[in-house]
Amino acid sequence: MTSATTPISATTPILELRRLTRSYGSLTAVDQVDLSVVPGERHALIGPNGAGKSTLFATVAGTLRASAGRVVFSGQDVTDLPESERVRRGMVRTYQHASLFLDCSVLDNVALAVQRAHRVAYRFDRPARRFRATQAAARRHLDTVGLAGRQYDKAVALSHGERRQLEVAMVLAAGPELVMFDEPTAGMSAAETERFVALVQRLPQTLTILIVEHDLDVVFRLADRVTVLHLGRVLASGTPPRIRADEAVRRAYLGSAKTEDLFIDAGEPQ
Amino acid sequence: MTAGQARSGTERHEAPGPASDTAPGGGDGGRRDLADRPVSHAPLLVAAGAAALLVAAPLVLGPYPVTTATRILAFAVLVLSVDLLTGVTGLPTLGQAAYFGVGAYTAALVGIHVTADAAAQVIAACVAGLIAAAVTGWIAVRARGIVFFMLTLAIGESVHQVADTWSALGASNGLSGMPPIRLFGSPPLLAAGFVYWWVLAVAIAVFAAVTLVARSPYGRTLRGIRDNEPRMRALGYRTAAARYGVFCLAGAVAGVGGALWAAQARFVSPGDLGFEVAALALLSVVIGGAGSLWGPCLGAALVLIVRDNLSASLGGHGPLLLGLVFIAVVFLMPRGVAGLVGARRHPRTRTEIPS
Ligand SMILES: Nc1ncnc2c1ncn2[C@@H]1O[C@H](COP(=O)(O)OP(=O)(O)OP(=O)(O)O)[C@@H](O)[C@H]1O
Ligand SMILES: [Mg+2]
């Protein structure tokens, strides 16, 4: 299954998938995936359309139940925990298709993430704007992604790229230890993508990042490790240069429209 | 330790500011509510003017209109509880009349057997409404959408059945013999105006409290659930608990409305908590504009006036008129009366076509 692996680091993994499987009826979208991510790692997940990347994310995050296998986070088995409990432990995801509170203001969207992390989400003893620390943190996150000027607009008024930026702000505001980005730059302009890459590079090294990304330039700039998923299975997992050189990966992509994008546009190994 | 835990408690360092600027009115709550937008003072002035007019009403009106106004205020409190669920949280309900009825019966029983003190009756009714909602809501909030709607209907009908058959509550004859209310040791308040002022004071307090909830972080949580509940779970919210909380809160508010209703009528019957009351309360929310707080209060006035005062002169066609109003609202102003004002106050939110 795994044709290229790097030696597992001595550190205990923050996320460990053990033969994780998820089926839709007879279709096995994620098939016995083993994966381990160490704290602070920037791990990219690539693979052609329909490889099962989003399904894997949803199963790890708890949006979907696993059909078989385990998800272990920080040494604890979270396979049977609902999504909200996993988030409370620090596993936060974005959606491939932005999922926002369209009828709320941009600021409220981020504040919803912040106020839960600040544990004031159920307070009604004073107006929200009096929770200064929460409001300030929400504004700071908006500022980070460049949406500060639009805080009072409704989320529904944002452009596609801006919605992606807002998703990023919400995830960072939710107090994560592990962030899972599902194609964060899809639909962003070149400038927005650049801002996103710079933002991720500036994030604290203690934060662990799992990212699904089609833009290989972004992948090879950000990732320490890359896992290739194909037909729900792990085809290869290793450092970016090893993945680039991997024969099985090349063969699997042969005939796929993605081959060229994957390995020719990607530039030289870093 | 997660980053979230590390950051928790930061709020404790804030000065617990008094909630003084949460005066009633200005309720641009709900769909247009931007919890944090700098406050404009115009709504506050309008609210103060409206409150002044309401306070002055008994000085210029005769006893009959004052009685009508008292009933409208009590009904408006029920409508606020429906709006909290339907408008703010996005849970349409037909069950709130049950908690309204629990409050009304509780207040009447307290009045007959314990004390004529109006404040004690309101508190007892509030607690009873809260408990009733806490017991029944536990089942209801597990469902969503149409199933939730049907469960609230079932709760309403069950409570109506109980009131209609339980002899200790007078069964279908209702509960009469409630003495006139007293306030803080005053003599019995027999004049309609005094009862009105008491009901007005409580209704304004409830309005202020609901406004505060709608603008608080919890209100934001509820709007988040209304807009996108799965996303709330992905942010770590236990959404069933949040929905249960607002269900209990709405039960308490409806209970207070019931006590006010009983204080005026001094008689409670199963008809006060029937399907019709629940439906009219929901209708008031739709007409007024779900999510706005003052809009549904206007809706409550309109609905009650049509039912109780105009129906006779329309040859009993009040329900028909309400039905027509309902259809007109749904098609012509989907955000109700409040939507009309809102559209003028926030002209054209910048909208871009998503690329
Ligand atoms: N809800 C669903 N029901 C049935 N099949 C599904 C469902 N969601 C996804 N699939 C199927 O599962 C497989 C994996 O889909 P998934 O969305 O996880 O792929 P992906 O790697 O994220 O693809 P993309 O790059 O297009 O986002 C696909 O064959 C897809 O058709
Ligand atoms: Mg996908």
Closest CA to B195 of B110, B261, B109, B138: B261
Cα–Cα distance between A99 and A58 in angstroms, integer? 14
pLDDT at position A48 is 86
In a domain, B300, yes or no: no
Closest CA to B86 of B284, B242, B237, B285: B285
Amino acid at B265: A
pLDDT at position A3 is 42
CB spacing of B355 vs A160 below 8 angstroms: yes
Residue B326 burial class via C-beta count within 10 angstroms: exposed 0-12, middle 13-18, buried 19 and up: middle
| Cα A54 to averaged position of ligand 1 atoms, centre (Å) | 7
User: What average pLDDT score do residues B20-44 get?
Assistant: 49
What is the distance in angstroms between the Cα of B209 and the nearest Cα belonging to chain A?
9
**Least confident span in A69-78, B244-253, B313-322:** B313-322
Judged against a pLDDT cut of 50, whether residue B159 lies above it is answered with: yes
H-run or E-run covering A225: strand A225-230
Tell me which residue in B7, B19, B224 faces A104 most closely, judged by beta carbons. B224
In a domain, B119, yes or no: yes
Contact residues, chain B, for A99 at CB < 8 Å: 228, 230-231, 234
CB spacing of A108 vs B223 below 8 angstroms: yes
| CATH number of the CATH domain containing B220 | 1.10.3470.10
| Cα A51 to averaged position of ligand 2 atoms, centre (Å) | 8
pLDDT at position B142 is 87
Judged against a pLDDT cut of 50, whether residue B298 lies above it is answered with: yes
Contact residues, chain B, for A154 at CB < 8 Å: 349
**Least confident span in A193-207, B23-37, B86-100, B331-345:** B23-37
Residue A169 burial class via C-beta count within 10 angstroms: exposed 0-12, middle 13-18, buried 19 and up: buried
Model confidence at B37, pLDDT cuts 50, 70, 90, reads low
Contact residues, chain A, for B14 at CB < 8 Å: 130-133
Model confidence at B6, pLDDT cuts 50, 70, 90, reads very low
Q: How many CB atoms lie within 10 A of CB A253?
A: 21
For chains A and B, what is the number of CB pairs under 8 angstroms?
195
pLDDT at position A252 is 67
Question: CA-nearest residue of chain B to A206?
Answer: B3
Backbone phi, psi, residue B344, to 5°: -75, -35
- The residue segments making up the domain with residue B254 are 64-271
Q: Which residue has the tokens 């005062």?
A: B309
What is the strand order of the sheet A76-77 is part of? A27-37, A15-24, A68-73, A76-77
Cα–Cα distance between A145 and A140 in angstroms, integer? 9
In a domain, B161, yes or no: yes
Low-confidence spans in chain A with pLDDT less than 50: 1-9, 254-270
Q: Which residue has the higher pLDDT, B14 or A178?
A: A178
pLDDT at position B36 is 52
Q: What is the CA radius of gyration of chain B?
A: 21
Cα–Cα distance between A151 and A105 in angstroms, integer? 7
CB spacing of A125 vs B216 below 8 angstroms: yes
Q: List CB contacts of A119: < 8 A, sequence separation 6 or more.
A: B8, B9, B11
pLDDT at position A211 is 94
CB spacing of B3 vs A177 below 8 angstroms: yes
In a domain, B285, yes or no: no
User: For chain B, how many helices (H) and strands (E)?
Assistant: 14, 0
Q: Which residue has the higher pLDDT, B281 or B355?
A: B281
Domains of chain A: 13-90+177-270 (3.40.50.300), 99-175 (no CATH)
pLDDT at position A96 is 83
pLDDT per residue over B101-138, tens digit each? 999 999 999 999 998 888 999 999 999 999 999 999 98
What is the distance in angstroms between the Cα of B125 and the nearest Cα belonging to chain A?
22
Helices (H), B141-238: 145-165, 192-215, 217-234
CB spacing of A123 vs B16 below 8 angstroms: no
Tell me which residue in A90, A116, A133 faces B14 most closely, judged by beta carbons. A133
Residue A255 DSSP one-character state: T
In a domain, B333, yes or no: no
Residue A55 alpha carbon, nearest atom of ligand 1? 18
Judged against a pLDDT cut of 50, whether residue B21 lies above it is answered with: no
Residues A37 and A14 sit within 8 Å (Cβ to Cβ): yes
Ligand 1 pocket test, pick from A27, A55, A94 with the greatest ligand atom count within 8 Å of Cβ, gives A55
DSSP B70-84: HHHHHHHHHHHHHHI
Q: How many CB atoms lie within 10 A of CB A217?
A: 15
In a domain, B101, yes or no: yes
User: Percent of chain B at pLDDT above 90?
Assistant: 41
Q: List CB contacts of B1: < 8 A, sequence separation 6 or more.
A: none
Model confidence at B340, pLDDT cuts 50, 70, 90, reads confident
User: What is the number of domains present in chain B?
Assistant: 1
SS3 A18: strand
In a domain, B289, yes or no: no
pLDDT per residue over B183-233, tens digit each? 887 777 777 778 899 999 999 999 999 999 999 999 999 999 999 999 999
In a domain, B209, yes or no: yes
